[in-house]
Amino acid sequence: MGTKSLCLLLASVLVAYYVYTPVPETIEERWKLMLINAGFRTVAHVAEFAEWLGLVHYMEVLMMITSIEYTAPISDENVTVTDTKFNNVPVRLYVPRKQSSGLKRAVIYIHGGGWCVGGSAMEPYDLLSRWTANELNAVVISIEYRLAPMYHFPVQFEDVYAVVKFFLQNSVLAQYEVDPNRICISGDSAGGNLAAAVAQQLLDDAEVKAKLKIQALLYPALQTLDLDLPSYKDNENKPILPKSLMVRFWSEYFTTDVSLKEAMASNRHVPAESSHLFRFVNWSNLLPEKFKKDHVYASPIYGSSRLGKKYPGFLDPRAAPLLADDTKLFGLPVTYVLTCQHDVLRDDGIMYVSRLRKVGIEVIHDHIEDAIHGALIFITSPTDLALGHRVANKYIKWLNMNL
């Protein structure tokens, strides 16, 4: 064998080794997903390296990559798209052109990206909002909230809350010809977290008269307490959200101080004074048997009270909606929860389903066996997956029938 072919062989083995990630057999388009994931991992490695060199913050590299996908607000034959501000927070607004006799429905959408990256202008989010506006003949408000590491909790929450509160005023609803009884709040991943948190907070806000009809939580992140749930253990290295990145997102939401990240990575970040909160995320009670598999519930290990005092945000239900007391859950709207089997956040969603059902909230739970986290962002070429289209269709169809 010549040197050239040997080099070629070695190079292909290395590439194959790099690209290969164990993707469950049941997932369609496995190789395409592996390639996409290799792309994600490369970006992560570059970000780590650049950060290690002291050049930029890790999240800034991720942000640069996602910003490539930004699109201008371009109207099409069905939907008028504009970038504007509600209560000083930027939003991308989608108004259907079709003339309708009665009032329209509305969907408030909050994009994912771990509170650190992403944007309503990103191609997949822009497309999802167009589809929603078009299919439902609904007004869609996609929120451009501020992100970490520049801004930490509660800025993200407050930006979203400010927009929702502004939109829910009777005069604003009337201006957009929206039916006050047919409004939904939706979000995926970190956006699902913000949607759930805002829906809870609205219940206590006497100034808001219009009520949400529905909340749709798409593979949401809902709790900071136990980062060793069965789903975290089973899916530690699954595409596209490994546990290490989720821990980084969570800690970055509150602070850039690495001590919180390190404590979270070893699941020893909750101070003993907050032990009473663990009952809200006790998977031993809240997960159906099929998700527990052979995992054994272990009592929490507590961390220093210093972290809890310094960054109380991670114990706040506005950041972790699963930490809300049962009495706070009464009165929530009909809830749609979509969870993915191969996702570290799977059990967050499932535990919220259990908790809401226990207090009598109507919950529709779509669990997708052959799905990974972030499925909805894979709807645009060249990174589109049949899975992304299937999940988007499922969600929009449900909305159309129930909003």
Ligand X SMILES: *[C@@H]1O[C@H](CO)[C@@H](O)[C@H](O)[C@H]1NC(C)=O
User: Minimum distance between the CB of residue 239 and ligand X, rounded to whole angstroms?
Assistant: 29
Active-site pick, 189, 231, 251, 274: 189
Residue 283: which of 345, 341, 328 has the closest Cα?
Answer: 345
189 is an active site residue: yes
76 lies in the site for ligand X, by CB under 6 A: yes
One symbol per residue from 22 to 61: x for binding ligand X (CB under 6 A), - otherwise; what is it? ----------------------------------------
One-letter amino acid at 2 equals: G
Q: Tell me, what DSSP letter sits at residue 108?
A: E
User: Minimum distance between the CB of residue 277 and ligand X, rounded to whole angstroms?
Assistant: 9
Beta strands 79-86; 334-342: pairing state: unpaired
Alpha-carbon torsion angle 296, 299, 300, 301, nearest 10: -110
User: Minimum distance between the CB of residue 81 and ligand X, rounded to whole angstroms?
Assistant: 11
User: Minimum distance between the CB of residue 276 and ligand X, rounded to whole angstroms?
Assistant: 9
d(C-alpha 283, C-alpha 323), whole Å? 13
Q: Tell me, what DSSP letter sits at residue 392?
A: H
- Which string of DSSP letters, residue by residue, matches 48-70? HHHHHTTSS-HHHHHHHHHHTTB
Residue with Cβ nearer ligand X (278 or 398): 278
Residue with Cβ nearer ligand X (92 or 165): 92
d(C-alpha 284, C-alpha 232), whole Å? 15
77 lies in the site for ligand X, by CB under 6 A: yes
One symbol per residue from 118 to 147: x for binding ligand X (CB under 6 A), - otherwise; what is it? ----------------x-------------
48-87: burial string, b at 16+ Cβ within 10 Å, e else: eebeeeeeebbbbbbbeebeebebeeeeeeebebeeeebe
278 lies in the site for ligand X, by CB under 6 A: yes
d(C-alpha 342, C-alpha 236), whole Å? 9
d(C-alpha 344, C-alpha 227), whole Å? 9
71 lies in the site for ligand X, by CB under 6 A: no
**Choices 76-84, 104-112, 140-148, 165-173; region in contact with ligand X by CB under 6 A:** 76-84
Active-site pick, 126, 228, 316, 343: 343
Q: Which of 169, 256, 282, 354 binds ligand X (CB under 6 A)?
A: 282
295 is an active site residue: no
One symbol per residue from 295 to 324: x for binding ligand X (CB under 6 A), - otherwise; what is it? --x---------------------------
373 is an active site residue: yes
d(C-alpha 256, C-alpha 60), whole Å? 13
Residue with Cβ nearer ligand X (77 or 204): 77
Residue with Cβ nearer ligand X (175 or 285): 285
Question: Contact at 8 Å (CB) between 253 and 152?
Answer: yes
Q: Applying CB under 6 A, which residues contact ligand X?
A: 76-78, 134, 278-279, 282, 284-285, 297
Catalytic positions: 189, 343, 373
